[in-house]
Structure 1
């Protein structure tokens, strides 16, 4: 048995239940990573607050999903790769672009490629963006403010990625076609 139970709205600590209810309403189900995250009201409430802000940013949903999928692949986090592959396709990211990101390759679309490259660079360089890294992003048509928004997406995604890696949530049936396995380190 896992030390992190797969909570339901009924079994979660009281302070975690409103977030699970919110996720249930948004997705029609409680994602398993959130069910594991619910063991810590501090974690799940911090997560939802940041994600709400991310989804209210100037970035479009396809752009956000591109970032979230890139982050999951870069962090070798299997559950989030499957989940965000499905959500990226639902948001309108072309399958070829999703497949490219899943294989660690930049998308062909210049804007999505700039987002994906910046997210990967943030993770790989532990946030230490050079002036050249930032200029490449700005040259793709993005703003200084959006660099900071990408940092918020990476921070939010890191919560999901690290929780998934620590708690190993089972993959829901509807995401099994998007199952992904990290290559050995």
Structure 2
């Protein structure tokens, strides 16, 4: 139903983002080729994901957030990609911190952000802070956009 756009067939406004992704990855992922149908959606995801990558959360924690969202939305493409990225990071120094951010991410998703004080304090006791809690929300937003777009376009 959705087109696997190339840089030549995509809407002109999507082309710079597609070229940047191709340069960074060495190829154009199908998910990007299909999301290019809406340049605003493609740019929005790339901007949000770049913002999430620049947060104070360490890489293992960021990938854990992304995987929690991907599992929640059953985006098999994202699961495979981000499991590979997490494995490439090597073993985490503090697995209990990753368990805490996974639990917190799932709680935020399940409660639509209305986690209780106990859940927030449990998260904070593992060395995270309130800024990190909001950064989890940013990650959820970025990767909810991606996973839902991937499923809609058939990329997942």
- What is the TM-score of this pair, normalised by structure 2? 0.92
Change (3 A) 1:115 1:128: same
Give the alignment's Cα RMSD to 1 decimal.
Answer: 1.6
TM-score of the superposed pair, with normalisation by structure 1: 0.78
Q: 1:85 and 1:146 mapped to 2: Cα distance?
A: 21
Residue from 26, 45, 57 that aligns with 2:55? 57
Residue 7 (structure 1) shift: 1.4
- 1:24 offset after TM fit, Å? 1.5
In structure 2, the partner of 1:32 is 30
Structure having the higher helix fraction is 2
Counterpart-to-counterpart distance in 1, 2:20 and 2:101:
28
Indicate the residue corresponding to 2:101 in structure 1.
Answer: 115
Contact 1:65/1:91, CA 8 A, preserved across alignment: no
Assess if the C-alpha contact under 8 Å between 1:63 and 1:115 holds in 2.
yes
Could you tell me which runs of 5 or more consecutive residues in structure 2 were left unpaired when the two chains were aligned. none
Structure 1 CA distance for aligned equivalents of residues 142 and 54 of structure 2: 13
Which deviations, in whole Å up to 9, do the C-alpha atoms of 1:101-158 show, x marking residues without a partner?
Answer: xxxxxxx811111111111111122222111111111011101001011100010000
Unaligned runs of 5+ in 1: 95-107, 171-185
Deviation at 1:93, TM superposition (A): 4.9
SS at match of 1:72: helix
